Every structure is written in structure tokens, then in C-alpha cells.
Amino acid sequence: MTTPQTVLITGCSSGMGRETALALHRLGHRVHATARRPDSLADLAAQGIFTYPLDVTDESSMTAVVAAVEAEHGQVDILINNAAYGLHMPVETASPDEVRAQFDTNVFGLVRMAQLVLPGMRRAGHGRIVNISSMGGRFSPPGGAFYHASKHAVEAISDSLRLEVSGFGVRVVVVQPGPTITEFGATAVGTMQRDPASESADPYADFRRELAAMYADRTFTRSKGAVSAETAARVVVRAATVARPRARYAIGTMARATMLAKRLLPDAAFDAVMRRNFPLPRTV
């Protein structure tokens, strides 16, 4: 029988975070699911999952949740850093506030959550931190600079952290999903759209529209290789619970194939692959 573990998961309002919370709860673990909108967790609470409001860009929110879980159970055994969103736009047109917001959620919030749970894990002599990265942590297409940069950062931070805390009995694991059928896709498409009134002065207006159409119609769909949230959650559960986890778990054929191509191909050849598969800005 599985020994119950105390699990804290960020970003459980939908998709992979929600399915991971449900799967771990069914296995008998003490699951603490969090989201910025607590009303989105009502059905999880009804099934016996502990729920909390948590904003990974707010220090007091993060501190309060970790303190509450530790007061109840002694320490967090497994942290799953899942909260994230995808900012997609040309580098030239992104505002500093938009870029900061991307890193606040995807990088700085993830780091702070790890910092908050690590003292308890060290005292207990065991623990696991699962950081949800992306296949995008290994390459960066046109329009994806800031989202992919945030996931590159998650990869680098996880590599350092894995070595730093292994001597305390803490394992750090990276999960790299490819396209997944969740609300993430719709959110990403939303960041590509701008006020139509400003488009006449935007040299990237056509590129934005083409990129949004590609993501909406061809990327986050099962027919193009996207996996379900349930399928992705099964991999996250394995990364969180297997006795001897690998450093990384890729999810989906597209993720594995694209990361392999990036590793093996010279830059010029991989750029050619990107040009064939993504729209590009162009002069009129």
C-alpha cells in the first residue's frame, strides 16, 4: 500500500494541475490543491481534497499556505510547481510589465515556493520538488521568447537545485510537457491578440494573427499530437511518486521529437525547421 504523502500543488483550477490533484488523491495522498480563484476548486474540496487560495506572485499568499500545510502535517513531502501561463508576442512589442509578469509567475513564484518548503523537507530528511517546465524549455520559436525563456530558467534552476539538495534527501524532478489540451492554449492565444485600432501601426499585426490561428487550430489539438490533461497528469504523478525518479520526464511524442531535433541539429538546420512550422514576420 502507498504510504500517504503530503502534497502541495500550485495551479489547480484546471487542466494538468487539477487532474494531478485528483490522481494523487485517489492514490491516498493528502493533497493540498491551490489556485488564485478558490471558487474554481470547489469540486475538489467536495471530494475531500484540501484547497487554498494561492497567488504565486504574492509573498504573503505563498507563506500563508505553506505555513498552514506544515502546521497540519509537519512538512510538505511533495511540492508540484504547476502554476504558469504563456506570454506569446514579438520581442520588440512586449512591454516591461508584461515580461516581468511572465517571470513573476513562471520563475520567481516557482523559486519562492521551493524556498518555503525546503526547510521542512531538510528537517524531515526527505522530500520531492516537481517543477513543470515544458518542451519549450529546450528551444524557442518565433513569438515565444518570453514564455520559453521562463521555461529555460526553470530547467537551469532545477538542475542547480537538484544537486544542492540531494544530500538532504530531497529529489528535484523536471516534467516537460508538449502541447496539452487544457485552458493553457486559449490563454496563450489571448496574449497574441491586440486592440484592432492599434494594428495599423503594428508591423507584426499579420504575424500575430497567423500565430494565434496556428496555436488555436493546429497546436493544442489531439489530431496534431497534443495529449490530454489526464495523460499528462499520469506522468506528473509518476515523477512525484516513483522511488527513484529520473531528472526529467518528457510528455508526448512531439515533445520528445522536438527536443531531440534541437539537441542533434546544428542551429541553421533547426532554424529551418522553425521556419517551416511557424509563421514569421515579414515586410509588406
DSSP assignment of 239-263 equals HHH-SS--SEEEESHHHHHHHHHHH
Q: What is the pLDDT of residues 103-145, one digit of tens each?
A: 999 999 999 999 999 999 999 999 999 999 999 999 999 999 9
- Check: pTM over 0.85? Answer yes or no: yes
Alpha carbons 183 and 69: distance in angstroms, whole number: 28
Confidence of residue 1 (pLDDT cuts 50, 70, 90): very low
Residue 224 designated active-site: no
The percent of residues in the chain predicted with pLDDT above 90, rounded, is 81
Please indicate, yes or no, if residue 202 is contained in any of the structural domains.
Answer: yes
Q: Is 72 exposed, middle or buried (CB count within 10 Å of its CB: 0-12, 13-18, 19+)?
A: exposed
* C-alpha distance across the termini of the chain, in Å: 65
Alpha carbons 252 and 153: distance in angstroms, whole number: 21
Set 134, 150, 151, 249: catalytic member: 151
Q: Where is 208: in which H helix or E strand?
A: helix 205-214
226 or 175, greater pLDDT? 175
Residue 160 designated active-site: no
Set 52, 147, 204, 249: catalytic member: 147
The three-class DSSP label of residue 267 is helix
Q: What is the pLDDT of residues 2-50, one digit of tens each?
A: 689 999 999 999 999 999 999 999 999 999 999 999 999 999 999 999 9
Q: Pick from 32, 66, 37, 65: which is nearest to 49 by CA? A: 32
Cβ atoms of 32 and 39 closer than 8 Å: no
Number of domains in the chain: 1
CATH number at residue 69: 3.40.50.720
pLDDT at residue number 189: 65
92 Cβ neighbours under 8 A, 6+ residues apart: 204
Q: How many CA atoms lie within 13 A of 259 on its CB side?
A: 20
Residue 151 designated active-site: yes
Cβ atoms of 81 and 65 closer than 8 Å: no
Q: Which residue has the cell 514564455?
A: 147
pLDDT at residue number 185: 57
Lowest mean pLDDT among 1-5, 145-149, 173-177, 272-276: 1-5
Where in the sequence is the domain holding 249, given as residue range(s)? 6-277
Number of H helices, E strands in the chain: 11, 9
pLDDT at residue number 196: 62
Please indicate, yes or no, if residue 1 is contained in any of the structural domains.
Answer: no
Q: How many CA atoms lie within 13 A of 122 on its CB side?
A: 10
Q: How many CB atoms lie within 10 A of CB 203?
A: 13
Please indicate, yes or no, if residue 44 is contained in any of the structural domains.
Answer: yes
Cβ atoms of 279 and 210 closer than 8 Å: yes
60 Cβ neighbours under 8 A, 6+ residues apart: none
Q: Which residues of 118-154 are buried (b: 16+ CB within 10 A; e: fewer)?
A: bebbbebeebbbbbbbbbbbbbbbbbbbbbbbbbbbb
Set 133, 134, 150, 158: catalytic member: 133
Confidence of residue 283 (pLDDT cuts 50, 70, 90): confident
Please indicate, yes or no, if residue 284 is contained in any of the structural domains.
Answer: no
Please indicate, yes or no, if residue 178 is contained in any of the structural domains.
Answer: yes
Residue 147 designated active-site: yes
